[in-house]
Amino acid sequence: MACASFAKLNASSSQWIAQQSFTQRRGSSTRLASRRVSLPIRAGAYTDELVQTAKSVASPGRGILAIDESNATCGKRLSSIGLDNTEPNRQAYRQLLLTTPGLGEYISGAILFEETLYQSTTDGKKFVDCLRGENIVPGIKVDKGLVPLPGSNNESWCQGLDGLASRSAEYYKQGARFAKWRTVVSIPCGPSALAVKEAAWGLARYAAISQDNGLVPIVEPEILLDGDHPIERTLEVAEKVWAEVFFYLAQNNVVFEGILLKPSMVTPGAEHKEKASPETIAKYTLSMLKRRVPPAVPGIMFLSGGQSEVEATLNLNAMNQSPNPWHVSFSYARALQNTVLKTWQGRPENMEAAQKALLVRAKANSLAQLGRYSAQGESEEAKKGMFVKGYTY
């Protein structure tokens, strides 16, 4: 919780202050003694591997397929096409996605739910091996979801730090090489200083624990689209949140070269009266990132956050019209899966067509990562927004 976090920070600050000393020389005025203050340099057993994994995920023309929905959320997706929420049905859908031939040309990493990490195809091949065969890095969702944050303005905090080290070690043994932890910040709720600090500290602790166990942490403080605020307000909040996040990442000695970010794009609130163009969204988003994110970070993999498939791709494309200090790419869930699911409809005879639909969306976002995407020829279905107020995973 937040109070425990602050206690740790205060103790850390006190120890630092204690290292500073004043000395009195005889016959001279009091002066600050020149002392060398040792700063911790992180060099864990996995450091080189973490850096290499992050670079692999942040490779040109590729991004992340996020299929880490909880069983309950996956059930909602399945029910939309008339399927029951059973393990065989979840397995069948995820098998469709993870065995798509040629997917590795456009996808560098796949975030899995715990159930999926341990599942195999109906032929007995482990899903993690299917991914490796396509040169796709397996990842794992490690947080335990959002719960109410006492003392806040009806806000949330993300649980899951208890037992994270042992779980991460097991995920590594199973083949996962990066992790995801999603917390959220709500602009209509303030956001309160308490919620921002709790989000930033939780992300930093998770990131340090992940790196200690060989997993590249994806750092994701999602600033929700909910609200009628203008884009300038989103920018203000995003800058505040990311300043806090990087402060605490540094406090926890996280290796920046071995992390990935999953930010929201800087957009107006979903209920704002005026929509912003891709060029405007790119301008505000890149301004925020350049002010807050060190160039040591290898990859920034945006979430789609309820945008339509085409909107998410257009906005990403606009951000890649000029060189960036980092690999600017995607980590989409609904913006890659929506058309796929509707094409499949749970019918085996539609599997090939559904996999082709996934490749179409993956290729479109690959082109956007390279700054070469055009929306010409996109279907009307791909242009439909997917924002859900108060959306939960």
Residues identified as active-site = 220, 262
Bridge-based pairing of strands 31-32 and 22-23 is antiparallel
The rounded Cα 10 to chain-centroid distance in angstroms is 29
For residues 242 and 257, give the distance between their C-alpha atoms in angstroms, rounded to a whole number: 17
Taking the CB of residue 46, how many other CB atoms lie within 10 A of it?
A: 19
Provide the Cα torsion 130, 136, 141, 142; round to 10°: 100
Six token digits for residue 37: 């203050």
* DSSP percent split of the chain into helix, strand, coil, nearest 5: 45, 15, 40
The answer to whether the beta carbons of residues 236 and 275 sit under 8 Å apart is no
What's the CA angle centered on 84, arms 79 and 89, to 5 degrees? 105
Residue where the block lists tokens 């303030």: 190
Could you tell me whether strands 63-67 and 327-332 are parallel, antiparallel, or unpaired per DSSP bridges?
Answer: parallel
Which DSSP string do the residues of 257-298 spell out, in sequence order? GG-EE-PPP----TT-SSPPPHHHHHHHHHHHHHHH--TT--
Helix segments in the chain, DSSP class H: 2-19, 47-57, 71-79, 87-98, 114-117, 127-133, 164-174, 193-212, 231-251, 278-292, 309-319, 334-344, 351-369
